[in-house]
Structure 1
């Protein structure tokens, strides 16, 4: 299990979508609140896994719809790349 911090995670998402960190909560909907489509979710996943040096199954990312669900995927299923993190 990875030791990610939700506050830092929310800041990274806010930076990616150009919003204030305070607007990103676990229940924030990726599609309706952040206006991300499936390609945008894939791009955000690449961005986040790059920051945290993790590999995550694409199939797990494809089924999330909330920020908290995406965070949980990285925490529970993220595998460190090259022994990092």
Structure 2
């Protein structure tokens, strides 16, 4: 059985990292325009989340990330690889 990251927990982790309320984190929340992140911030968030959930995500997947939902989906896609 594959593991899966639960959305509510994931949204809380993202909100704690970026310093916003978890209720403000939606699937379509844009990391750049809504949360003011840059590529280094995205990389740091990704490192935090992969360490938190003990999942490995290939760097090639990072280029496709624009929203919180993108990160969530990529992480769940790679949970089975843990």
Check the 8 A contact 2:31/2:68 in 1, yes or no.
yes
CA RMSD across the alignment: 1.1
TM-score under structure 1 normalisation?
0.88
Q: How big is the shift at 1:58? A: 1.1
Q: How big is the shift at 1:62? A: 2.4
Matches of residues 1-85 of structure 1 in structure 2 within 5 Å? 1-78=2-79, 79-80=81-82
Structure with the higher strand share, 1 or 2: 1
Q: How big is the shift at 1:61? A: 1.8
Distance in 1, matches of 2:3 and 2:27, equals 17
Distance in 2, matches of 1:22 and 1:3, equals 21
What whole-Å deviation, never above 9, does each CA across 1:22-61 have from its counterpart, x for those lacking one?
0000000000001110111011000000000111001102
Distance in 2, matches of 1:35 and 1:5, equals 24
Would you identify which runs of 4 or more consecutive aligned residues in structure 1 move more than 3 Å?
none
Q: How big is the shift at 1:2? A: 3.3
